[in-house]
Amino acid sequence: MFRLPNPLEGVTDAELCSEEFAQKQDEKDALSRFRHEFIIPTKGDLRNKKYGPYRKQEVEFGNDAIEDDNDEESIYLCGNSLGLQPRRTREYVARYLDTWASKGVFGHFKSLEGGHPPWLHLDEALKDQTSKIVGALPSEVVVMETLTANLHLLMSSFYRPTLERYRIIIEGKAFPSDHYAVESQLVHHNIPTSALITIEPSSSSSPYLSTEHILSVISQHAASTALVLLPGIQFYSGQLLDIELITRHCRSLDIIVGWDLAHAVGNVPLKLHDWNVDFAAWCNYKYMNSGPGVIGGLFVHDRHGGVETADDPLASQSGNPTNGSDGKLVYRPRLSGWWGSDKSSRFDMENKFVPIPGASGFQLSNPSALDMTSVQASLDIFAMTDMNALRQRSLRLTAYLEARLLRYGNGTPPYKIITPVNPRERGAQLSLLLNPGLLDHVLTYIEERGVVVDERKPDVLRVAPAPLYNSFWDIHRFIVVFQEACRRAVAETNDKADSA
Ligand SMILES: Cc1ncc(COP(=O)(O)O)c(C=O)c1O
């Protein structure tokens, strides 16, 4: 198997595990500067029982023994769940609030000196930057609604079951929301849920899904399958799927393929247009750092976004399967709303839906300007670099995390990394399967010491160095606390077993 070059080749163990090594890596990496764009909570902030930042005089904590480090930055490795807040978000949001306060409804329409674009045009303002992150044409993306809602909207357009082709293929450990969404689509179309095919790992001891295995399951059910919906990066294992190859395979079998990019967007470079993906959706609160539950995004390939008039000779070749309500326009069917309708006639209130060509024509409601503002703040940081440069940094950070996890003093670690070892098959995140019974002990210990990672019961910790703000120094500090937590957890559980 072809491997990416190992950025840590030739480094001795002693060197690798030293504080100096981590500090030097941060100093020599030009992208380290982006960390200053983010608010890194201090350990005191996390321990503070009141909301907001901790101030020494005001706050009482619970555990005096470990609170002399309240002013230190926490070790936040949880961008796979919720990205940290960019410093500029507060400024952008304040500008939005000031506009609303001072202009009211005119904020929708008026261009204001030093302000953001009128809210009416915010959806367009975000397209260029978003398209660069997912590798699309600006017309193929739109920031709208939220991830699960967008998957439903996209399936309402792309899942067109027939008597012969009605199955949906997902992976067995799909994020529950995707599972529910797909199952409810089947029910919605009066199709038994047995039409759902799940791709299960070949081995019960590993969540790994080889590309060959994925392709073979798809081939096996191709004759009766209408839709394949897969994650770009699997949320539990952190495995990055071969989006290009799987998409090509589905298309060769005439199967529509959609991608849930929750864990891939802002994490790995994507080329949705060139890879010929039919559709995709994502959220903006993980590696996109735009805030909890914030507005999401979607992609519809150019070939599906056309809007033609019925007498246009090109219309019959467009591949768009049906026409609009008045029979004069030909476009992909969809569940529609007024924000997807042509801007020039949107306010005429004539009940004629004229879809905007491209992804924008899939919009329903006027988007939350507050959410869009928050996404804009984050995109402006991404615009100072690009996904290829971030990926290079991410490969170095994750390789370093992996190398440190694999060095556990003289003993065998009480955990194993279940994310693929090949960097081509993973993004930033490594998932650690702890030996049974250790997770709660380990989590309590590390959380008390200002480490933030996330858990997947019963035994998995997900650790994700986000390339925009995490540092080698974060990883070094994480390893010191985490491995000590493991040693203590093993000792405690052994003691308990001995005294039982
Ligand atoms: C892979 C994946 N899909 C779907 C979702 C659901 O997202 P939302 O709640 O924004 O619809 C999540 C949420 O974390 C996720 O990780």
Sequence ranges of the chain with CATH classification 3.90.1150.10: 13-37+387-499
CB 394 within 8 A of CB 467: yes
178 lines ligand 1 (CB under 6 A): yes
E strands along 207-313, which residues? 225-231, 256-260, 279-282, 296-300, 307-309
The CB of 151 under 6 Å from ligand 1? The reply is no
Q: Using CB atoms within 10 A of its CB, is residue 147 exposed (0-12), middle (13-18) or buried (19+)? A: buried
Q: Cα(283) to centroid of ligand 1, in Å?
A: 7
Mean pLDDT over the full length of the chain? 93
Going from the Cα of 296 to the center of ligand 1, the distance in angstroms, rounded, reads 10
* Residue 263 among known ligand-binding residues: yes
Question: Collapsing DSSP states into helix, strand and coil, what is residue 234?
Answer: coil
260 annotated as ligand-binding = yes
Residues of the chain with CATH 3.40.640.10: 104-374
| Nearest protein Cα to ligand 1, atom 7 | 147
- Top mutation candidate among 151, 283, 287 for ligand 1, by most atoms within 8 Å of CB: 283
- Binding site membership of 175 for ligand 1 (Cβ less than 6 Å): yes
Quote the ligand 1 centre to 145 CA distance (angstroms).
13
**How many Å lie between the centroid of ligand 1 and the Cα of residue 280?**
13
- The token pair that represents 84 in the structure block: 């940290």
146 lines ligand 1 (CB under 6 A): yes
Q: What separation in Å is there between the alpha carbon of 484 and the centre of ligand 1?
A: 32
The minimum-distance atom of ligand 1 relative to the CA of 149 is 11
Kindly state if the Cβ of 231 falls inside 6 Å of ligand 1.
yes
Q: Does 147 carry a binding-site annotation? A: yes
Top mutation candidate among 80, 147, 151, 153 for ligand 1, by most atoms within 8 Å of CB: 147
Of 25, 43, 12, nearest to 471 by C-alpha is: 25
Is any ligand 1 atom within 6 A of the Cβ of residue 283? yes
pLDDT of residue 68: 83
Is 7 annotated as ligand-binding? no
State in Å: Cα 494 to ligand 1 middle: 38
Structure tokens at 114: 């030093």
HSE (side-chain half, CA atoms, 13 Å) at 62: 7
Q: Which protein residue's CA is at the shortest distance from atom 3 of ligand 1?
A: 175
Residue of the nearest CA to atom 13 in ligand 1? 262
Locate tokens 């004629």: which residue?
352
Class of the domain covering 13-37+387-499: alpha beta
Q: In what order do the strands lie in the sheet with 196-199?
A: 141-144, 296-300, 279-282, 256-260, 225-231, 167-171, 196-199
Which atom of ligand 1 is found nearest the CA of 174? 1
Beta bridge partners of 225: 167
Using alpha carbons, select from 316, 379, 311 the residue that is nearest to residue 37.
379
- DSSP string covering 290-322, please? --TT--EEEEE-GGG--EEETT-TTGGGS---E
The C-alpha atoms of residue 169 and residue 293 are separated, in whole angstroms, by: 27
In eight-state DSSP terms, residue 188 is H
pLDDT at 499: 76
- Residue-level pLDDT at 115: 78
Distance (angstroms) between ligand 1 centre and the Cα of 262 equals: 6
Which residues, given as ranges, of the chain have pLDDT below 70?
A: 1-5, 57-67, 312-327, 500
What pLDDT is attached to residue 113? Answer: 86
Pocket flag, ligand 1, residue 260 (CB < 6 Å) = yes
Pick the CATH number of 104-374 from 2.40.50.140, 3.90.1150.10, 3.40.640.10, 1.10.10.10: 3.40.640.10
Is the CB–ligand 1 distance for residue 234 below 6 Å? no
Check the annotation: does 177 bind a ligand: yes
CA angle in degrees (0–180, nearest 5) for 204-205-208: 85
CB 209 within 8 A of CB 217: no
| pLDDT 10s digits, 26-85 | 999 999 999 999 999 999 999 998 888 887 766 555 665 566 899 999 999 999 999 999
| 320/306 Cα distance (integer angstroms) | 7
Does ligand 1 lie within 6 Å of residue 290's CB atom?
Answer: no
- Written as one string, the DSSP assignment of 105-173 is GGGGT---TTSPPPGGGHHHHTHHHHHHHHT--GGGEEEES-HHHHHHHHHHHH----SS--EEEEETT
What local confidence, expressed as pLDDT, does residue 161 receive? 98
Which pair of tokens denotes residue 158?
Answer: 């792309």
Distance 380 CA to ligand 1 centre (A): 24
CB-count burial class (<10 Å; 0-12, 13-18, 19+) for 303: middle
CA of 146 to the centre of ligand 1 (A): 9
pLDDT recorded at residue 61:
59
Check residue 350 and give its pLDDT: 83
The predicted-structure confidence for 323-352, as pLDDT tens digits, reads as follows: 454 568 999 999 999 999 999 888 888 889
Ligand 1 pocket member 287 (CB < 6 A): no
